[in-house]
């Protein structure tokens, strides 16, 4: 299933990318500087948006089918020969404590098997005062009918969308992990299925 997911991923996201996600990526990633670690880099849709302030880029991706597509996109990007492509999970990053100035997670915390462990690991590798640049779809707890559908559909969705949960309370998990979530923006992902439309994004620091 992960092979099929990797194959269709860019096509499934295309309308939303054009409607809003591409500009969200640019706004999130353009200001990052220093050592940047992207977890769950997928097919590499963030690659175009890193700015000249990034000195070291580490792309972490555990799925081999996604990694193959990422390698292909990387070869055609300005990061070719400079970014590091790593087979690892967000729950276990092969990096020293405080190694990163920024960690990037876009549409990944819905899929990691152990969200608290991934967030603890992200905190471990982020230097004090470092930034977590985040874009995630979340449980629509402000829309009870949508939230009910998210709960109902998650068991099936997880199977077809490679482990993705529709109903995660990611903002609460970020708070519990010690991130200040007060600056997060909640916005609808246009042209997306209603069950993944509720998103949060922003730059977070440790509380």
136 near ligand SAM (CB under 6 A): no
Among 28, 32, 37, 89, binds ligand SAM (CB under 6 A): 89
Q: What is the dihedral of CA 133, 39, 110, 172, to 10 degrees?
A: -50
Q: Compose the 48-67 pattern: x for residues touching ligand SAM by CB under 6 A, - for all others.
A: ------------xxxx--x-
Beta-bridged to residue 201, according to DSSP, are 135, 185
Strand pairing category for 126-137 and 198-204: antiparallel
Of positions 112, 133, 189, 195, contacts ligand SAM by CB under 6 A? 112
CB of 92 to ligand SAM, least distance (A): 8
- Ranked by CB distance to ligand SAM, the top (closest) residue is 42
In the complex, least distance from residue 125 CB atom to ligand SAM, rounded to whole angstroms: 13
Residue in the block written with tokens 């729950």 = 91
Q: Quick one: 104 or 147, whose CB is closer to ligand SAM?
A: 104
Smallest gap from Cβ 143 to ligand SAM, in A, equals 22
Angstrom distance (rounded) from CA 118 to CA 110: 11
39 touches ligand SAM by CB under 6 A: yes
Cite the beta strand spans of 43-197 per DSSP E: 54-60, 84-86, 100-106, 126-137, 185-188
Distances (CA, A) of 169 to 7, 19, 73, 86, 200: 28, 25, 32, 28, 11
> Would you tell me which residues interact with ligand SAM (CB under 6 A)?
39-42, 45-46, 60-63, 66, 89-91, 106-108, 111-113, 163
């Amino acid at each position: 299933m992960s092979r099929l997911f990797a194959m269709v991923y860019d096509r499934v996201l295309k309308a939303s990318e054009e409607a809003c996600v591409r500009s969200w990526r640019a706004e999130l990633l353009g200001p990052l500087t220093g050592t940047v670690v992207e977890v769950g880099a997928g097919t590499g849709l963030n690659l175009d948006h890193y700015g000249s302030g990034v000195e070291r880029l580490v792309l972490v991706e555990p799925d081999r089918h996604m990694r193959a597509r990422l390698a292909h996109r990387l070869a055609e990007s300005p990061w070719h020969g400079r970014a590091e492509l790593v087979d690892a999970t967000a729950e276990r990053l092969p990096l020293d404590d405080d190694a990163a100035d920024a960690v990037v997670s876009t549409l990944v915390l819905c899929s990691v098997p152990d969200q608290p462990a991934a967030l603890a690991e992200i905190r471990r590798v982020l230097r004090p005062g470092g930034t977590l640049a985040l874009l995630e779809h979340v449980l629509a707890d402000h829309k009870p009918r949508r939230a009910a559908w998210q709960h109902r559909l998650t068991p099936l969705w997880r199977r077809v969308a490679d482990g993705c949960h529709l109903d995660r309370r990611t903002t609460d998990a970020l708070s519990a992990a010690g991130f200040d979530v007060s600056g997060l923006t909640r916005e609808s992902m246009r042209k997306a299925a209603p069950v993944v439309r509720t998103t949060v994004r922003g730059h977070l620091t440790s509380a």
